[in-house]
Amino acid sequence: MNRNSSHSAESVLTFWTWQTPDFCLTTGQVDVSKSKYHKSMPTIQTAYLELARRLDTDQIVWCYTSHEQYIVYPWDSKIGWEIRVTDEQVLGYINSWTWERIIRTKAYPPELRDQWLQHAIDNDIDPDQYYEHQLNEYLSLPAPSGCWWNHLFVDKPTSYNQSDVTVLVRHPLPTAAVSRLATTKSNG
């Protein structure tokens, strides 16, 4: 299922991904059971299954739309890769925050925290208490149509929403589509 059918086949898109040294982007199979998220988050296991059902494949490479979206820490052993693919290799674009709601984390768009804290300051409210209240309100909001899955897939990202979009690319990738990034110890 290609969620990006409105774009020409000739366009080349650039994305970024960070993978463990033992994962090959160009051969083999994706085994989600090896994911640290699969091991540590029970809710993600059923979400991966449903995502694979909706995409008609579990051979997915998760990519960022900007290399600045991933923070490289000094202890991080993952390898950064630039991926250059055509539209046909893109399985879909997903709203990152909707995915977080599906897997039931407490993640939220960072601009919300800024808004909540500014409101607390402007209205002489305890910022910590207001933040906790707003976070709980945000996390308790139901999906607009009753199902977060109905809001997961989005159009190709724009400069406005780029940081909120994750790209799902079909694995394996052609060797020519993959370039290792120079080793860095920090993006910040």
Is 101:144 a contact under the CB 8 Å cutoff? no
Give the pair of three-digit tokens for residue 12: 């080349």
pTM higher than 0.85: yes
A 10 A CB-CB count for 126 gives 10
Indicate the pLDDT class of residue 184, thresholds 50, 70 and 90.
low
Give the pair of three-digit tokens for residue 109: 């768009």
Averaged pLDDT, 2-14:
63
SS3 36: helix
Averaged pLDDT, 37-53:
94
- Which pLDDT tens digit goes with each residue over 81-94? 999 999 999 999 99
Mean pLDDT check: name the lowest of 99-103, 109-113, 116-120, 158-162.
158-162
Q: Where are the alpha helices (DSSP H) in 123-184?
A: 127-140
